[in-house]
Structure 1
């Protein structure tokens, strides 16, 4: 039974590391490099990988600045804020708007003092069929504020 639990936990950790690695090649090397050395030196194979690997995966997500998916109430407030700016931002695809916002949090984390870069990347990230080149700098600034307020307020 203990072996099954350890195997299940390790499988989840490996899957989580694989999901966090999907963003870039640079991120892919870091989790697997950090997970392998942590697991190798341990004397008990069941306990240390379970405790050290999730913290490595969590550290990777935090370093990238991508927050977890919001709860239903937070998502509803975020979508309402975007719709108030321009209904075409969400364009009947709230999950896509949430994913774009979570990715925009990464930009906020990586360029915390460069509001212009944050706004430019928001305008590139948030597009729609009727706004293929973005919504312009004024609306991008408002979108950025909505992202920051609802999805990553601690950034």
Structure 2
């Protein structure tokens, strides 16, 4: 027993000496959703999901342009809008590029290559109005 203790004490001391120093900052909890239970992924440029009223207004505005934009799938339309906001955050003043990216993101079975530049510009305006108004 003494032989084991004699061997382990220097080993423990050596391990403690080689360990990295404790962090000087206090770890913080990850951000949570409004309910406080589910962590929220914080990615620059991606806005939070809109509340129910904002989503309804967003979907109504897209449907007013062309019902095929939403095509019965409002969650997909919201996801595409939030994704578009990443491009808006990267190049807020490059309208031509943003319209091109909107045309690539917003497609449908009847418009597999997008809705064209005029409709895409209108879609982009709706995205900016409802999904990322501060960008």
- Mark yes or no: TM-score above 0.5: yes
Once residues 75 and 60 of structure 1 are traced to their aligned partners in structure 2, the CA distance between those partners, rounded to angstroms, is 20
CA separation of 1:59/1:130 partners in 2, compared to 1, >3 Å: closer, same or farther? closer
1:69 lines up with 2:49 in the alignment: yes
- Once the two structures are superposed, residues 79-122 of structure 1 have per-residue CA deviations (whole angstroms, 9 ceiling, x without a partner) of 00000000000000000000000000111000111000000000
Match of 1:50 in 2: 28
Q: Which runs of 5+ in 2 are unaligned?
A: 1-21, 32-38
Q: Distance in 2 between matches of 1:133 and 1:147?
A: 19
Structure 1 residue matching 2:49: 3-state secondary structure: coil
**TM-score for the superposition, normalised by structure 2:** 0.73
Larger C-alpha radius of gyration, 1 or 2? 2
Q: Tell me how large the CA RMSD over aligned residues is.
A: 2.2
Aligned residues: 108
Compare relative contact order (CA 8 Å, sep 6+) and give the higher one, 1 or 2: 2
2:90: which partner in 1? 110
Structure-2 residue corresponding to 1:128 = 108
**Structure richer in helix, relative to its length:** 1
In the TM superposition, structure 1's runs of 4+ consecutive aligned residues that sit over 6 Å from their partners are none
TM-score, L = length of structure 1: 0.64
Deviation of 1:50 (Å): 2.5
Q: In the aligned structure 1, how far is the partner of 2:90 from the partner of 2:54?
A: 23
